[in-house]
């Protein structure tokens, strides 16, 4: 077929099953946007390029598909950097098309020129600079293959402006040939045999589940393994939803603000099966004293993660889509009554969890974050997708909101990107239009990408935006309170921003809650409203997220509150 580079991009996206792109036009991509117009290709215009890439990220996390972004050259492309880094750290599959100045102008400090290839090299799984239109179909085919196979991640395709304009004979390749990369992550079966043998010797095993299980869509087989073993389960922040919140033996998430039971059981178990997680410092606490009594098993497909932060006694290197079904098969074949042997251990951990739940102290008519989120969890159905920004509200949401399905708790884990939530919730809703979507955000985070209220209104996206409004950068303030003598240096927000008016100015209705009694009298009606809604909830300024493991401490050295 004869077509220009811009038309080739859209035709290639169709071949890859892409049904929507997020983006923002500019001079270097005008031909591409003309093709969007002519082809009536679904495109969501955001208020800012950062909003576009976070929306694509939310879409990818919620659906499991590759998110796609368009941006122009120079500042348009560099505005994607935060979102690219966010997706890279959390292993989210994205393909980002950026415009570049035309070939004759590259390297001459031309108007809106930036070295996008160089800038994004450290924060992408792979990237390209396309200067010849004949390379475009192959590059796009490779980009999607790289983004979605193995450990997923973002791929950037920087395209010279004249490539979009050039006509050529288009042919989309059916296969990918990449030297040194096959996308096949089948491992060594003997490594799984060693894990089964270790389980046969263990008395107190604990499953520790990470975002890799969500990303590989292996939650169903993981749940089967948990049932086979009858062992307790904990997870990372990105692992929420891999097992049901009400599953027998589930201890909640672990780490700095994780549950008492999860952290204490990590420190006392004798075999820790870590599946699809990378031992972030927010999870391990003091690394040298992490899980001191346990043999550690690491199921991981990225060789670079093995022994990077924590030394593993056993490794299973390979894709979870290969390793977990095989593990389940071998556990069944072992003929061992694992669930019977581990019942007393799981009962013991369940007792600890029951005695030390996430909790809060009521205080008259003050709205406590825990009470708010528990009420929202009660009002939500099991198909509700929870999205968070970053800060105290993120941790409260992880603690008190019940997640029952994989890909239903979306948050920026590794980068902790403020501003992620509002656009990511848009992407989640566009990708999963039949699911309810709730965003938990703070009065600091919401300002980072607040322009996307206009995008929500323009696209009539039924998203409930819940602002936990405490007039301070909550997590910064908590650390300043605990470790910097209450020196609130540049963290107090004056409280002059009226978020209800802000949202209404961009077409989203809003309401404000100030009293605890309104959680019963007004919140249900607001959540039942058809269409988008901002709910500004006033909470106490000096409310801490507890429990908390202070930096450099062991997981069992937790600040619980009061005198504990």
Work out the average pLDDT over 7-15: 98
Question: Is 161 labeled as catalytic in the residue annotation?
Answer: yes
In this structure, what is the dihedral angle of CA atoms 268, 270, 276, 279, given to the nearest 10 degrees?
50
Work out the average pLDDT over 80-104: 98
Phi then psi dihedrals of residue 464, to 5 deg: -100, 115
121 with 127: CB under 8 angstroms? yes
As beta bridge partners, residue 385 has 437
The predicted pLDDT at position 219 comes to 98
Work out the average pLDDT over 157-180: 97
Count Cβ atoms within 10 A of the Cβ of residue 165 and give its class: 0-12 exposed, 13-18 middle, 19 or more buried. Answer: middle
Give the separation between CA 527 and CA 521, rounded to whole angstroms.
12
* pLDDT bracket for residue 495 (50, 70, 90): confident
Catalytic residue, chosen from 112, 267, 392, 399, is 112
* pLDDT bracket for residue 562 (50, 70, 90): low
Specify whether domain 189-355 bears CATH 3.40.50.1220. Answer: yes
Q: pLDDT for 481-492, tens place per residue?
A: 999 999 999 999
Question: Is 49 labeled as catalytic in the residue annotation?
Answer: yes
pTM (2 d.p.): 0.97
Work out the average pLDDT over 77-98: 98
What HEC string does 85-111 produce? Answer: HHHHHCCCCEEEEEEECCHHHCCCCCC
The predicted pLDDT at position 45 comes to 98
For the chain, how many residues are written?
564
Question: Is 475 labeled as catalytic in the residue annotation?
Answer: yes
Q: Tell whether the model's pLDDT for residue 477 goes beyond 70.
A: yes
Q: Tell whether the model's pLDDT for residue 213 goes beyond 90.
A: yes
* pLDDT bracket for residue 12 (50, 70, 90): very high
Question: Is 112 labeled as catalytic in the residue annotation?
Answer: yes
* pLDDT bracket for residue 563 (50, 70, 90): low
- Calculate what percentage of the chain has a pLDDT beyond 90: 98
Give the separation between CA 282 and CA 545, rounded to whole angstroms.
14
Q: Do domains 2-169 and 369-538 have the same CATH topology?
A: yes
Catalytic residue, chosen from 277, 426, 475, 548, is 475
444 with 493: CB under 8 angstroms? yes
The predicted pLDDT at position 494 comes to 85
User: Which CATH architecture group holds 2-169?
Assistant: 3-Layer(aba) Sandwich (3.40)
Q: Where are the alpha helices (DSSP H) in 418-492?
A: 421-431, 452-458, 474-483
Q: Tell whether the model's pLDDT for residue 268 goes beyond 90.
A: yes
The predicted pLDDT at position 309 comes to 96
Catalytic residue, chosen from 1, 111, 351, 483, is 111
* pLDDT bracket for residue 561 (50, 70, 90): confident
Domain segments of the chain as ranges: 2-169, 189-355, 369-538
Give the separation between CA 558 and CA 374, rounded to whole angstroms.
23
* pLDDT bracket for residue 564 (50, 70, 90): low
Q: pLDDT for 221-261, tens place per residue?
A: 999 999 999 999 999 999 999 999 999 999 999 999 999 99
Name the nearest CA neighbour of 123 among 97, 98, 156, 146: 156
Mean of per-residue pLDDT scores for the chain: 97
Catalytic residue, chosen from 11, 49, 300, 305, is 49
Q: Which residues contact 476 (CB under 8 A, 6 or more apart)?
A: 391, 491
Give the separation between CA 407 and CA 409, rounded to whole angstroms.
6
Work out the average pLDDT over 262-290: 97
Give the separation between CA 447 and CA 418, rounded to whole angstroms.
9
- CATH number given to 369-538: 3.40.50.970
Catalytic residue, chosen from 141, 161, 204, 464, is 161
């Amino acid at each position: 077929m004869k077509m220009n580079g811009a038309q080739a991009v859209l035709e290639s996206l169709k071949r890859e099953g892409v049904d929507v792109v997020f983006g923002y036009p500019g001079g270097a991509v005008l031909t591409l946007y003309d093709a969007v117009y002519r082809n009536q290709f679904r495109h969501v215009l955001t208020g800012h390029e950062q909003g576009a890439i976070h929306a694509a990220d939310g879409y990818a996390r919620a659906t499991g598909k590759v998110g796609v972004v368009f941006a122009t050259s120079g500042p348009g492309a560099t505005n994607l950097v935060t979102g690219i880094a966010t997706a890279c750290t959390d292993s989210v599959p994205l393909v980002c098309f950026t415009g570049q100045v035309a070939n004759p102008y590259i390297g001459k400090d031309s108007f809106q020129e930036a070295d996008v290839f160089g800038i994004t090299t450290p924060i992408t799984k792979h990237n390209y600079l396309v200067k010849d239109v004949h390379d475009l179909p192959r590059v796009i085919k490779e980009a999607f293959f790289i983004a979605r196979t193995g450990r997923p991640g973002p791929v950037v395709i920087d395209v010279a402006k004249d490539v979009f304009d050039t006509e050529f004979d288009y042919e989309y390749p059916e296969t990918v040939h990449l030297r040194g990369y096959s996308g096949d992550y089948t491992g060594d079966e003997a490594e799984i045999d060693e894990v089964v043998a270790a389980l046969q010797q263990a008395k107190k095993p604990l499953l520790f589940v990470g975002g890799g299980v969500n990303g590989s869509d292996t939650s169903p087989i993981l749940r089967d393994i948990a049932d086979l073993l009858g062992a307790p389960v904990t997870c990372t922040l990105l692992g929420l939803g891999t097992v049901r919140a009400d599953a027998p033996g589930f201890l909640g998430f672990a780490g700095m603000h994780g549950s008492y039971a999860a952290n204490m059981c990590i420190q006392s178990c004798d075999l820790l099966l870590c599946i699809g997680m990378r031992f972030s410092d927010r999870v391990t606490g003091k690394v040298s004293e992490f899980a001191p009594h346990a043999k550690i098993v690491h199921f991981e497909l990225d060789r670079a993660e093995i022994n990077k932060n924590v030394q593993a006694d056993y490794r299973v290197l390979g894709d979870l889509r290969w390793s977990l079904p095989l593990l389940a098969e071998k556990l069944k074949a072992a003929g061992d009554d694992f669930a019977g042997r581990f019942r007393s251990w799981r009962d013991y951990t369940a007792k600890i969890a029951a005695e030390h739940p996430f909790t809060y102290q009521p205080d008259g008519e003050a709205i406590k974050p825990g009470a708010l989120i528990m009420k929202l969890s009660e009002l939500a159905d099991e198909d509700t997708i929870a999205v968070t920004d970053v800060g105290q509200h993120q941790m409260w949401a992880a603690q008190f909101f019940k997640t029952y399905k994989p890909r239903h708790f979306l948050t920026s884990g590794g980068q902790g990107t403020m501003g992620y939530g509002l656009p990511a919730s848009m992407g989640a809703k566009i990708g999963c239009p039949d699911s309810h979507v709730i965003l938990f955000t703070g009065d600091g985070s919401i300002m980072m990408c607040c322009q996307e209220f206009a995008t929500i209104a323009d696209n009539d996206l039924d998203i409930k935006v819940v602002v936990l409004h405490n007039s301070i950068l909550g997590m910064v303030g908590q650390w300043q309170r605990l470790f910097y003598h209450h020196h609130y240096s540049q963290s107090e927000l004056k409280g002059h921003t009226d978020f209800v008016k802000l949202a209404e100015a961009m077409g989203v209705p809003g309401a404000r809650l100030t009293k605890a009694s309104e959680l019963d009298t007004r919140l249900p009606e607001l959540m039942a409203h058809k269409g988008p809604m901002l709910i500004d909830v006033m909470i106490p300024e000096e409310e801490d997220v507890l429990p908390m493991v202070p930096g450099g401490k062991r997981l069992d050295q937790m600040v619980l509150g009061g005198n504990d």
